[in-house]
Amino acid sequence: MKVYSKQAQTNNQNMTAQPSVYILGFGAIGSLLGVHLQKYGGTKVTPLFRSLGRLSDFKTNDYEVSIKPLYDSSLEILTERFPDASCPENFKGKIDNLIVTCKTYQTADALRPFLPYLDNNSNIIMIQNGLGVSEVLKEQVFNGGDLKPNLFQGVIAHGIFQDSEIKNQYNHAGFVDCKISKLPENDNDIIETFADLEALKQNELIKMLNSLDRSLGVVHMTYQELLLGQLEKFLVNCCINSVTSIIDCMNGELANCAGPIFQSIIEEAINVFHTAYKPLFDYEDIYKGAKHGQLPKLNVAGRLNVTTMLENTMHVGCVVNGGNSSSMRQDVLNLRETEIDYINGYVVTLCKKFSLPESNAKVNRTIQELVKLRLKLNQTRKAGQ
């Protein structure tokens, strides 16, 4: 998609006042969104770091971040500066719009220092791998107090990883899309109408992200559409992120050999989904009972089945993002904690939550333990050098 050089001028001309957004977690995904929002969305972007030390590291590169589009060699490298980057120790101001892209297991602790700068009109969108973060925020952060900001969810399928030599450069290896939606206030009421979707179009954060409809393929959709896409992306992550980490390979190297293990992971997870996300699997009956044109039509059974998902995982994970090194593999290589408890481990969590037999998640539990073993092995080897 050769849109990089033209989109900025068009969008900036259409902006009457520059909106602003903060990004908590300025790694691969945060940098991709930040650079595109500032360059093509006419948005002032302020990265938020967890400590003064991390902010100081960011300053060493003159506040610059670059995105290299590996998926199309004809596209230029994008570079943007973010001189207003901040952290809890020196933050001042009010947060109207916040994108959270830090690691899933860090989210609650990373967000807490910034709670005084949020209010009930603030917009927060989580764009991360894995599942279960929204539940953690509702249970541990926004649990019974007066602060209840607007919560949104994003699902990003682009492949991007940090360059091994240029630390402030991220390599955009695969172009797919980014889905966004407002989270339901009640987890048991996941159905959103087209009228609900239309009412959100004027939300400032939604408008910002929608400005990247061409440069990053952002699509605003109903929550049930997003949930279906989120589960599809989750299954890809369950296969690609974990297996590339365990055997230490690029995504594309799995194209001709990983089918059997991928099938086992997917089949087990989908079986658990039928219980955990029953309203989604019952959606066809809900759609038939609604007024014509009120709800989007979704083929849940046609998309969330083993055959289709195996093909999708192979195509998106190993072909479109074949040149990508998964974020979990990058964490394991750099001796960092992983998000495995929110990916394959979340299938295990769902079994416990819905009182399903432990054996219903035996494959994903094994994958979860193998990722932890691989990380521990790498850490032990490093300590022994």
Which residues does the annotation mark as catalytic? 233
SS (H, E, C) 219-270: EECCHHHHHHHHHHHHHHHHHHHHHHHHHCCCHHHHCCCCHHHHHHHHHHHH
E runs forming strands in the chain? 20-24, 44-48, 64-69, 78-81, 97-100, 123-127, 150-156, 159-162, 169-174, 178-182, 218-220
> How many residues can be counted in the chain?
385
CB count, 10 Å around CB of 374?
Answer: 21
Nearest residue to 100 via CA among 120, 125, 119, 134: 125
Contact (CB, 8 A) for 21 and 46: yes
d(CA 46, CA 25): 11
The first and second tokens of residue 111, run together, are 């967000």
Q: SS3 of 118, please?
A: coil
Q: How far, in whole angstroms, is CA 323 from its chain's centroid? A: 19
Element (H, E) at 149: none
Cross-strand pairs, 66:
79, 169
d(CA 96, CA 287): 35
- Those residues whose C-beta lies under 8 Å from the C-beta of residue 305, and which sit 6 or more positions away, are 270
* 60 Rama class: left (phi>0) / alpha (psi -120 to 50) / beta: alpha
